[in-house]
Amino acid sequence: MKTLISSLFAEKGISNNFLKNIIIIVIIYIFTGTISLDAQTNPSSIFSPRETESKELNELFNSVRQSQEVTDALPNMYDFKTKAKRGLDFMSPGSKIVNLRYERITQWSESISKLFYSYLLDLHKDELDRMVPGSIEAVISEFENKQIKVGILVWEIGNNDESRLINSIAIFDNNWNVLFDSELINFIVGVSEGDESVNISNENSSGISVSLNNQKDSLIAYNYWVHGTFGSLNHYNQVDGTAIVPPYITAATNDADFNFYTDQIISIRRLIDPLAPPTDPCLYFGTDGQIANLYSNAIPFESSVNLSPFRNDKFNNGTYQVSGSNGHTWSFEFDFSVSAGPFGLGITPVSSASDFTLTSPGFSEVNLNNYVYYYPLGNTYRALFYDGGSLNMNNFNLLTGDSYGEIGYVNVSMPLQVAYWSYLILYPFSFTGKYLRISNIEYIRGDHIYQPTFTMTSSNYNIQINQIDTITAKIKNQSYQVDLDGGSVSMDVSSLGDKLTLLSPATIQIGTIETRVTKEFKFIVRGNSNGIVTPQINISSLGWGYPVPPDVIINNIISIDSNIEVGPLTKTLSLNMFIQGFFNTATNLMVPDTVTVYLRNSASPFAIEDSATANVTSDGDGLFTFLNADNGTPYYIEVRHRNSIETWSKIPQQFTASNLTYNFSQSVTTAYGDNLIEVKPAPDAIYAVYNGDENQNGTVDLTDVVNVSNAASSFISGYVTSDMNGDNITDLNDLVITSNNASAFVAAVKP
């Protein structure tokens, strides 16, 4: 078999590379029977022998031969030659009519009229419904009302290379103008454009009422006029196409196959004059190609299916299918085992062209490069689609890439060109810019759907025992394309411990959350016992709406954004500070003493929110317990001592998990206004709050000096405000500290 086919190719001068590409398809042709072997062999010249004439035409010839001859007729063949030349110039430039003579001339008769009527009926037997009713009868009536003559002519058409002898029946008027000729009726003298073409696209979604357009229809219709020697007709062409892509595709989808098919191909004759030429209209898909009577002269056509750029989606490996029929007797079905490249692929069933057709990086495209399929037993025109033909492209496998975007697009671009047979010759007639385009057929890129966000909040993060609180779970659908649907939100009761009691149902059904919508789910709780609690919710089986498959679900566990405190919980401030006169520079220790801390509101007028008193140790450490402070609330820390200047923290501080640590001794900048005194120099500097404010009016001044001086003169001792160094004796040492700070105008600095 391979040798036989190789011989056939060798005879036609076809390369071995071409043979490699076609031999498998040829074997499929012969052994599978999926492709008709009934090839249509078509003459490539106007000089090729004609088919057998119709019975009606033969009967008309016989009737003319048997009719009484007009012996005195002197035919003038000028009009005949003129019309014949016009057709030859259009159909076969350079050819001419020669040796024209008449065999017999007779008068129009009733018998000839009947046979001519039968001839026209037979000529248009398959299209009478597309003719003006009574138009054939009108031609017969016109001829009967004129003094017409009927003749049998013998003539030749030829050029420098070949010629053909013709016998025809001609009908002339009284002035020898030819009204009909059985050969000239086949001649085309010109073609012109018809009405404006129509291109209509419709969108649908496989019957699903959503915004995704994964199935689209398109229609293109256009027409042109074919002018013959004696009459004209209109060729009407229409193609309806449908493209379908799976609505949901991922990088792991195994059955995401794009399909295109023609709903109908119409290529018909209409508005037919009874004496119009017997053309056979057809159309073909492609651009930049050239239809030809011989395969060797044909240039491949190209139609494309491409994916939208900037998505990195691509065509996957698989078995691609192209099938259809030409509307006559031939049908085809090709399966291609495709290995996809990095950006795209091309299919050229019977050509040695590269498998890949790349437009630009990241732009995946399948090009159907050649519909002029060659058959080694003869020339055939399988690119041509006639009325009732079909074309299908199936199983074009798609995969999503890694680029951003919820929606991907497939585009079909099928340029349509038209042709027609006349005189057994194929004549292209093309309109430029006529495309069956189906653009932006959409699919959801499953790997890139914007995922929902989940939050959990409380209306109050500090509640008392028996107080009611509302915990709210929020689900925000961030997708622009797909609804969320199904599943439930459940409070994890165990996460409440014994601190909160759930009063509302533990599980709430989610239902539908439309695109870009946030839905809230509320749970009612009551404070039960003192403590800190971190509630959690469970998201179970949250699904998606169409077109995401039902097995794609979301499960999640969400914790509240901040802990809830129940009951009168205490807050603890771990404070480190030193008092100027109480500090011993030799030991880095100080005399312990009692200090009061006030928590001030962070906003003016800086109201006192809570206070606590504690003993500050010799290391400067003190633990202060507050009953009314809240976590997460900013407070200024104000420190007061029996004879020290009140000192504020640099900025407001807040409790986290009921604890706060602050150190006034490490840096001067820890106090508001840097209002600290260095009691030990660098490099291990230690800072302390000023003292000397004996009367606690916020300023160390003469009044404080006088008070301390009087107490020293009176030998006052014990735990008194005039004791500036904590030795329980008021003496000169205390007076020096007070006097120095008064001279330095030490005073409280606060917001």
- Three state DSSP letters for 553-594: CEEEEEECCCCEEECCCCEEEEEECCEHHHEECCCCEECCEE
Residue 605 contacts residue 614 (beta carbons within 8 Å): no
According to the model, what pLDDT value does residue 286 have? Answer: 65
Region 409-427: mean pLDDT is: 83
According to the model, what pLDDT value does residue 603 have? Answer: 95
Region 624-640: mean pLDDT is: 94
Residue 158 contacts residue 47 (beta carbons within 8 Å): yes
Residue 542 contacts residue 521 (beta carbons within 8 Å): no
Would you call 63 helix, strand, or coil by DSSP?
A: helix
Region 16-33: mean pLDDT is: 26
According to the model, what pLDDT value does residue 22 have? Answer: 26
The answer, yes or no, to whether residue 16 has pLDDT greater than 60, is: no
C-alpha to C-alpha distance for 297 and 284, rounded to whole angstroms: 16
**Nearby residues of 744 by Cβ (< 8 Å), 6 or more positions away:** 700
CA dist 91 to 177, 236, 347, 421, 703, Å?
A: 22, 21, 35, 11, 128
According to the model, what pLDDT value does residue 251 have? Answer: 86
Q: Please, where in the chain does CATH 2.60.40.1530 lie?
A: 453-566
According to the model, what pLDDT value does residue 38 have? Answer: 28
Q: For the chain, give the mean pLDDT.
A: 84
* Lowest-confidence region among 5-9, 115-119, 366-370: 5-9
C-alpha to C-alpha distance for 352 and 413, rounded to whole angstroms: 23
The answer, yes or no, to whether residue 378 has pLDDT greater than 80, is: no
According to the model, what pLDDT value does residue 290 have? Answer: 61
Type of residue found at 222: Y
The answer, yes or no, to whether residue 220 has pLDDT greater than 60, is: yes
> H-helix or E-strand containing 427?
strand 425-429
The answer, yes or no, to whether residue 13 has pLDDT greater than 50, is: no
Could you tell me the pLDDT band of residue 46, with boundaries at 50, 70 and 90?
confident
Could you tell me the pLDDT band of residue 216, with boundaries at 50, 70 and 90?
very high
Region 93-121: mean pLDDT is: 95
According to the model, what pLDDT value does residue 319 have? Answer: 80
Q: For the structural domain made of 205-217+241-263+287-418+432-446, what CATH number should be given?
A: 2.60.40
Region 447-453: mean pLDDT is: 95
Name the DSSP class of 296: G
According to the model, what pLDDT value does residue 366 have? Answer: 63
Region 96-123: mean pLDDT is: 96
The answer, yes or no, to whether residue 299 has pLDDT greater than 90, is: no
The residue among 197, 236, 200, 242 whose CA lies nearest residue 219 is: 200
The answer, yes or no, to whether residue 26 has pLDDT greater than 60, is: no
Residue 530 contacts residue 569 (beta carbons within 8 Å): yes
Specify the pTM: 0.66
pLDDT greater at residue 473 or residue 288 = 473
Region 92-97: mean pLDDT is: 93
- The listed CATH number (2.40.50.140, 2.60.40.1530, 3.40.50.450, 3.40.50.300) that belongs to domain 453-566: 2.60.40.1530
- How many Cα atoms sit within 13 Å of 274 on the Cβ side? 21
**For the chain, percent of residues with pLDDT exceeding 90:** 63
C-alpha to C-alpha distance for 105 and 174, rounded to whole angstroms: 13
According to the model, what pLDDT value does residue 431 have? Answer: 62
pLDDT greater at residue 337 or residue 575 = 575
Region 440-461: mean pLDDT is: 95
pLDDT greater at residue 281 or residue 429 = 281
The answer, yes or no, to whether residue 36 has pLDDT greater than 60, is: no
Region 444-461: mean pLDDT is: 95
According to CATH, the topology of domain 577-743 is: Immunoglobulin-like (2.60.40)
According to the model, what pLDDT value does residue 373 have? Answer: 38
Task: Name the most confidently modeled range: 117-121, 331-335, 425-429.
Answer: 117-121
* Lowest-confidence region among 243-247, 261-265, 315-319: 315-319
Could you tell me the pLDDT band of residue 419, with boundaries at 50, 70 and 90?
confident
Would you call 122 helix, strand, or coil by DSSP?
A: helix
Distance of alpha carbon 343 from the chain centroid: 17
The answer, yes or no, to whether residue 522 has pLDDT greater than 50, is: yes
